[in-house]
Structure 1
Amino acid sequence: MKHLASLNKYFVRYKWRFLLGLLFTAVSIVFSIFQPIMVRQIFDLLEQNLDSYHLIDHTSLKTAFRGHFSAVLAFYGVTILLLALLSGFFMFLQRQTLIVMSRHIEYDLKNEIYEHYQKLHLGFYKMNRTGDLMSRITEDVSRVRMYVGPAVMYATRTIIMMVIILWLMMNVNAELTLYTLSPLPFLALTIYYVNRIIHKKSEKIQAQLSNITSISQESYSGIRVIKSYIQEDASAKHFEDASEEYKQSSISLAKTDALYQPAMMLMIGLSVIITIFIGGMQVIKGNITVGNLAEFVIYVNMLTFPFFSIGWVASMIQRAAASQQRINEFLDVQPEIQDAPNAQDVDIKGHVRFEDVRFMYTHTGITALNDFNLEIKPGEKVAIIGRTGSGKTTLAQLLIRMFDPQQGRITIDGIDIKQIPLHSLRTQISYVPQDVFLFSDTITNNIRFSTPSAEQETVQLAARQASVEKDILQFPAGFETEIGERGVTLSGGQKQRISIARGLLKNPNLLVFDDCLSAVDARTEKEIIGNLYAYLQHKTAIIITHRIFALFSFDKIIVLDEGKIIEQGTHNELLANNGYYAELYQRQQKNEQESISE
């Protein structure tokens, strides 16, 4: 239960629903408990009046006696019916409070998990699979809901009913009650033993379910690769093997669960036999009446569901505990990137400094930047060039605090970026990532994602500046075109340009473009560069690229290799140095000439 203790805050939040549910449960049970009492009175009435009825069998009083006795029986019958109706009505109210409460808790828990996911750092997502994240917020939360709803409801009903019934049974005959309950210790041992097995198996099953979800998600996302390499059969086999493991574990758990019902029915059957045998002897001795015995038998049968639900509830609790343990594993992860206690909002002008920055990816041990120093003055346009793995993207992600360096510091306008609230920092920096991600929505909403309040005219202007407006207007629905998951209906160049438009829409003083023109043809690239040159006139811009934009007049070009600056200067200065930059430029010029000649 220690893992489920984190849910107590929700019971406090919905305490009035919870308390009302308990009240309705108690009232429903009280009305149902009166029914055996009425049956006892009927049996006692029959026993007491049976001899009298035989005495007047041949007299004129027989008809009057029969009429009166029938009226009394009818009264008891109607009373029992009304008690059953009232019990059912309050049981309905019980479900309306406790089950509805569980749906509210499910809603809150899913939102809590989702919001926590949003706060976690990129390193967390590199270490955990998307399918596992999805499984914990769906399947695991659903199992937890079974605890806060049905399990709590049935456990509460079981406890209240058992307490009341046992109290009534003890009042009738304590000795008979003890005999009736004698099988319970064996039942308790069975529940304890089976619960331990269920908890372990539930943990295993939930992990396997997460694995199946991850395999499915990866297969759907990579379906083009699977089809390209004709690996449909291998992919299906991989999924089938994972499903087989899940099936076998689920069957094993079902077999363990199957011990509950037979154990319950065996113990209850023994209780009924003991009740009838010992109770019959008590009736013969005159210690109890026939009505008491009938009452006892009904009580034992009324305890059938509580006894049976003990196993069911315990199974639900164990499964929920296993799921909540998995949920807590992620909820207990604290985001590495957080606001400093004394962080204050500032208006970013664009003066950027990297001071002795060293950064290593902890999950791989790769050092991306080492003793890195760079100053970018407000309004400067800086290009970052280097081969793959040189640290270009890391530089951009450090600037927007997707990661924090292990050594050194980064300042904007003389202020350490750790002293600027994350929301403020990322709001005032426009970052166009290398890995373009578009949502399954309209083109307008994808561009407006960076600035939800932007007007349609501003959205169209951003698309025009990114040289994608003409492409968009060629679609039948224009800007309202649905682009499918990850922009599947668009070309790579169109997706990149929509991503650029999204970044331009924010209109910040500091922009970072991370190799965002790799899928754009030379003519479109030239057009975009011309538009950007005008747009960035009074803004600070960092353009990360593996290509050289000779038409763009950069104030400074930085050449990276293995996390260090190996060259820097203007285009002409670097060509004069005849180093890596000059070699890259000559190779690029040669490739362009060859493509033109072809």
Structure 2
Amino acid sequence: MQKSKIDLNHTSVEYSPGKDPFEKARNKSSRSWILKHMFHGPNKILLFIVFFTTIISANLNSITYIVLGNALVDFMLGNYSTLLHYVILILLLNLGTPILRVISFMLREIVAHRMERDTRREFYANLLGKSQSFHEQQQIGDLMARVTNDVRMLNFLLSPAISYIFESFTTLFIPIIYIILFYPPQLILAPTLFAILFLVSLKYYVKKLGPVTLRLRSFFGMMNATLAETLTGIEVVKASVQEHRELEKYISNVKSYRDAYIDQGKIQARFLPLLLIALTVTIGLTHGIILTFILP
């Protein structure tokens, strides 16, 4: 696999659309560049609202189960006078939680699309600023793949990737805090084990998925580059009777992309946290039954 020759930082610029607010971050590191785009302009305010609403909705969700448990206790004790208040409170909590989640989803999509727009604009501006010799050295298909598909991946990086990660951690640790505050400390065993195993399995999953995803994106760029170059020089290909050779080259890149895609699917199919959730529910229920009926 050949390394990409694209370098948007160290090539002479012949055209500049004005001040580039991302230049320093881009020259520093890819992580700084992504963070700069995420928190650029009004994005920081929108992201603050997203994080705030996510935390509030996780708290409301935990409070709902606590109120529901108290309502069941009063029902079992025959205290029916408080049930109406519990019903109204649970209704309000269940209305507030999805409303906050909808606001969070909407704002994170706005930020993700703004990030994609700014990234694509930055990429186009840098391409316009490059010399003719720079463009002659690049593969058109690789450039097209980066401008379209790779930039689109930055949208998905924020929504749903980073947003779901943050939401998963809030819905994981906030209920543990409520369990410590409102329930017997023995019940913290199952959630704590799940949190530890979840973090370990997630780290293992990301470590395995990262290199395969990088291969997938590289092969996608090579596949597009081969096709674009063949179509651009189709007259030369036909004149030199190289159709079969070009077809074999393209099929080879397609197979490499297919194999990387299959490898990615195999890793994603072995997403252990889903199994851990089922095991945690089973262990937690068994532990609660033991504490209630066997070891009162």
Counterpart of 2:3?
none
Q: CA RMSD in A?
A: 2.4
Higher relative contact order (CA 8 A, sep 6+): 2
Counterpart of 1:98?
108
- Deviation per residue, 1:198-241 (Å, 9 max, x gap): 11111111111110110121122123333445544443332222
Given that 2:172 and 2:195 are in contact with CA atoms closer than 8 Å, whether structure 1 keeps it comes out as: no
Counterpart of 1:34?
63
Counterpart of 1:60?
none
Gap runs ≥5 in structure 2: 1-28
Q: 1:27 to 1:180 in 2, by over 3 A?
A: closer
Deviation at 1:280, TM superposition (A): 1.8
Given that 2:190 and 2:283 are in contact with CA atoms closer than 8 Å, whether structure 1 keeps it comes out as: yes
- Deviation per residue, 1:303-326 (Å, 9 max, x gap): xxxxxxxxxxxxxxxxxxxxxxxx
Return the structure number with greater helix share.
Answer: 2
Given that 1:184 and 1:267 are in contact with CA atoms closer than 8 Å, whether structure 2 keeps it comes out as: no
Structure-1 separation of matches of 2:93 and 2:198: 31
Counterpart of 2:275?
266
Structure-1 separation of matches of 2:188 and 2:133: 61
Counterpart of 1:185?
196
Matched, 1:87 2:97: yes
Structure-1 separation of matches of 2:197 and 2:240: 59
Deviation at 1:48, TM superposition (A): 1.5
For 1:245, which of 243, 256, 261 is the aligned residue?
256
The correspondence of residues 38-117 of structure 1 with structure 2, limited to 5 A, is 38-49=67-78, 69=80, 73=83, 75-117=85-127
Deviation at 1:285, TM superposition (A): 7.1
Deviation at 1:162, TM superposition (A): 2.3
Counterpart of 1:4?
31
Q: 1:109 to 1:205 in 2, by over 3 A?
A: same
The residue identity in structure 2 corresponding to 1:278 is: H
Q: 1:20 to 1:265 in 2, by over 3 A?
A: closer
Deviation at 1:123, TM superposition (A): 4.0
Given that 1:198 and 1:253 are in contact with CA atoms closer than 8 Å, whether structure 2 keeps it comes out as: yes
For 2:210, which of 178, 193, 199 is the aligned residue?
199
Counterpart of 2:152?
142
Q: 1:40 to 1:179 in 2, by over 3 A?
A: same
Deviation at 1:268, TM superposition (A): 1.7
TM-score by length of 1: 0.41
Gap runs ≥5 in structure 1: 53-68, 288-598
Given that 2:176 and 2:191 are in contact with CA atoms closer than 8 Å, whether structure 1 keeps it comes out as: no
Q: 1:19 to 1:7 in 2, by over 3 A?
A: same
How many equivalent residue pairs? 265
Structure-1 separation of matches of 2:233 and 2:190: 65
Structure-1 separation of matches of 2:195 and 2:174: 17
Given that 2:62 and 2:175 are in contact with CA atoms closer than 8 Å, whether structure 1 keeps it comes out as: yes
Structure-1 separation of matches of 2:94 and 2:166: 20
**Is the deviation greater in 76-85 or in 163-172?**
76-85
- Deviation per residue, 1:243-300 (Å, 9 max, x gap): 111001110111011111xx1232122212221222123223787xxxxxxxxxxxxx
Structure-2 separation of matches of 1:82 and 1:236: 62
Q: Alignment identity in percent?
A: 18
Structure-1 separation of matches of 2:194 and 2:177: 18
Deviation at 1:131, TM superposition (A): 1.5
Deviation at 1:105, TM superposition (A): 0.7
- Deviation per residue, 1:506-528 (Å, 9 max, x gap): xxxxxxxxxxxxxxxxxxxxxxx
Of structures 1 and 2, the larger Rg is shown by: 1
For 1:133, which of 143, 147, 152 is the aligned residue?
143
Counterpart of 2:15?
none
Structure-1 separation of matches of 2:75 and 2:108: 42
Deviation at 1:72, TM superposition (A): 5.0
Structure-2 separation of matches of 1:235 and 1:105: 37
**Is the deviation greater in 24-33 or in 89-98?**
24-33
Q: 1:286 to 1:165 in 2, by over 3 A?
A: same
Given that 2:74 and 2:82 are in contact with CA atoms closer than 8 Å, whether structure 1 keeps it comes out as: no
Counterpart of 2:177?
167
Structure-2 separation of matches of 1:173 and 1:128: 64
Counterpart of 1:509?
none
The residue identity in structure 2 corresponding to 1:94 is: S
Structure-2 separation of matches of 1:209 and 1:154: 26
For 2:225, which of 205, 214, 218 is the aligned residue?
214
Counterpart of 1:303?
none
Return the structure number with greater strand share.
Answer: 1
The residue identity in structure 1 corresponding to 2:288 is: G
The residue identity in structure 1 corresponding to 2:33 is: S
- Deviation per residue, 1:144-180 (Å, 9 max, x gap): 2212222222222222222321100112122221243
Counterpart of 1:17?
46
TM-score by length of 2: 0.80
The residue identity in structure 2 corresponding to 1:246 is: Y
The residue identity in structure 2 corresponding to 1:272 is: V
Structure-1 separation of matches of 2:198 and 2:169: 16
Q: 1:184 to 1:15 in 2, by over 3 A?
A: closer
Matched, 1:282 2:291: yes
The residue identity in structure 1 corresponding to 2:291 is: Q
The residue identity in structure 2 corresponding to 1:273 is: T
Deviation at 1:139, TM superposition (A): 1.6
Given that 1:132 and 1:214 are in contact with CA atoms closer than 8 Å, whether structure 2 keeps it comes out as: yes
Q: 1:20 to 1:180 in 2, by over 3 A?
A: closer
Deviation at 1:9, TM superposition (A): 1.5
